[in-house]
Chain A
Amino acid sequence: MTTDTLAVEPPRAARKPLSQWVFWGRAMVLPYVLVFLVFVLFPVCYGLWLARHPASYQKLFDDPIFFRTAINTVVFIIVAINVKMAVALGLSAFFVQKRWWISVLAAIFIIPWAVPSIPTILSVRFMLNPEWGVINTLIFKLTGLDGPNWLNDPTLALSFSMLMHIWKSLPFWTLILVAGRLAIPGEQYEAASVDGATRWQKFRFITWPAMKGLYLTSTILSMIWTLGDFNSVYLLTGGGPADLTHVLATLGIRYLRLDQVDLSMAAIVVSLPLVLPLVYFMMKRLSK
């Protein structure tokens, strides 16, 4: 807080230089403010305006695909994120171990995050191809049976989309949680060892209290980001079969293609009561 007291503006008497600082301050913040007005505020208002008719909501609620999408999205957010964060928490304990081969593995482990998602998603998509994909080829070779048509079953297809999402973003969150673990002083663990604490007790009474806040923030941030994850679903299943694996991120594009923009905006407006509290929570946390 000492910085704030030093940051006091020059005394009022120096009128002229002060106005120069204010002028340049405004000029430098102007480009971003323009970007915000033209490409955030206007689109958001325009989108809300497009979704102004109650009839759009009526049509939206009458669309069975919307209902299915809402369930898919909730399942995606709750299952995929919690599995991912729990695994990331576990793996962070593995990656803080000091071994040369774990450092090498850590560098490899980050590949899914470092490479663009399209090629790897398409690679998995082809692995799952019922006729030529490597998985069914192997099943046939080993058992002589035809493997399932993986992406033609809505439950399996959505599960693979979730796995794809986890594959892509698990390294990032593991990295975050590793950083969190490294910040815990090692003496606490040594002291606990001397007292004969079990591994579980160390986790329960040292690691978890120290990581709780970070874990919660990461989970909520990941939820918000996952709502915007278009690629894992669109490029793997295309929303199919029969539009049964859409999530909110891909549903908007489906309505856009069907030339029903009002529905795509209405779908987003309907989800705002769930999204805005998360956004508010994150803003509170980060703007401190």
Chain B
Amino acid sequence: MSRRISWRKASTEAQLLLVGIPVLLWTLIPVYHLFLFAISPKDTATSGRLWPEHPTLQNFRTVFYQEHFYLNHFWHQLFNSVAIALTVAVLTLFIATCAAFAISRMKLPGGRTVMNLALFTYFIPAAFLAVPMYKTMSVYGMLNNQWALILAMVTIASPYCIWVLKQASDKLPWELDEAARIDGASPLQLFRLVYLPLMVPSLVAVGTYALLLAWNEYLYAFLLLSKDTDITLAVALGNFLSADDSPWELLMATGFIYALPPAAIYYTFKRYMVSGLTAGAVKS
């Protein structure tokens, strides 16, 4: 009897492994290929070996010292990516928090309409808005200006942030607001002293979301910016494709560097991100 149970147990474990191993390979192969390229010398990168014969950090050195035509502005572009992502996160947080507070806690007349406008924007596929946004920025005279990208990303990020923050706000107990109002708190005091401290977890989730969205963005960045010293690292990576004889090992090394900060941020704030994002889609 007990042998039969352990046999069944082993078979269950085997079935799980039969799923787990392909999942692991499927997930890691593109990432491992990227990493392998980044640490391989130029000539041996394509040999098809599982581990390079002479692993090297030379590619990273070339990137850091900007010793290639494609990488002449690496540090500048990295700085652009950081500055733009941070500005988008701060602006989005400000706009979305204020809007969510007004809609959810102040019961502003017309707040529901604003929420619906935001939701509608959230559901416009980003690529559909890209061309009109490009033409609009050219009307506003903002093409090749980093503010164009920042404002476009704020536009794309804020609807979802407002929605998540509104959902979270609606769950806060009303007695707190009542008590604060009876004590004669002004709207701003209520916002600063009661609302913001209670909302910290959602604010972290939403801020991280906007930060990563802006850091990862390629389409809008490459439409709205063109000067080598204006573009973000994402666009710089895409520019490697403009020639057939691109130095792929340098592209992979740069791509690896570019992928690390968002991955680190994601795993640091995973707890907040997952609950925020799943709340966003799951609510049914």
In the complex, A244 has a CB within 8 A of chain B:
no
Q: Give the size of the chain A interface in residues (CB under 8 angstroms).
A: 98
Interface residues of A in 75-97 (CB under 8 A from B): 91, 94, 97
Going nearest first, the 7 A-B pairs with the smallest beta carbon separation are A119-B255, A228-B125, A47-B132, A249-B127, A25-B108, A24-B187, A43-B132
- In the complex, identify which listed stretch (A58-66, A126-134, A186-194, A200-208) lies at the interface while the others stay far away: A126-134
A122 to B252, CA, bound (A): 8
Listed residue (A39, A46, A224, A264) with the most chain B CB atoms within 10 angstroms of its CB: A39
Return the CB mask of A27-57 against B: 1 if under 8 Å, else 0. 0110111011001101110110010000000
Q: Report whether A256 and B16 are in contact in the complex, using a CB–CB cutoff of 8 Å.
A: no
Q: Which residues of A contact B106 (CB under 8 A)?
A: 21, 24-25, 28
Q: Report whether A175 and B135 are in contact in the complex, using a CB–CB cutoff of 8 Å.
A: no
In the complex, A118 has a CB within 8 A of chain B:
yes
Write the nearest CB–CB distance from A238 to chain B, whole angstroms.
7
Q: Which residues of B contact A258 (CB under 8 A)?
A: none
Chain A contact residues: helix, strand, loop or mixed: helix
Write the nearest CB–CB distance from A138 to chain B, whole angstroms.
5
- In the complex, identify which listed stretch (B66-74, B111-119, B197-205) lies at the interface while the others stay far away: B111-119
Interface residues of B in 210-252 (CB under 8 A from A): 215-216, 218-219, 223, 234, 237-238, 240-241, 248, 251-252
Return the CB mask of A100-134 against B: 1 if under 8 Å, else 0. 01100101111110111111101110110000111
Write the nearest CB–CB distance from B152 to chain A, whole angstroms.
7
Write the nearest CB–CB distance from A198 to chain B, whole angstroms.
15
A272 to B271, CA, bound (A): 37
A74 to B162, CA, bound (A): 31
A193 to B127, CA, bound (A): 48
Q: Report whether B188 and A24 are in contact in the complex, using a CB–CB cutoff of 8 Å.
A: yes
Q: Report whether A36 and B117 are in contact in the complex, using a CB–CB cutoff of 8 Å.
A: yes
In the complex, A7 has a CB within 8 A of chain B:
yes
Can you name 16 extra interface pairs (CB under 8 A) apart from A105-B23, A137-B48? A28-B99, A29-B99, A35-B155, A47-B132, A115-B262, A117-B218, A118-B216, A119-B256, A120-B34, A123-B255, A134-B48, A172-B277, A179-B282, A227-B128, A287-B115, A287-B119
In the complex, B33 has a CB within 8 A of chain A:
yes
In the complex, A195 has a CB within 8 A of chain B:
no
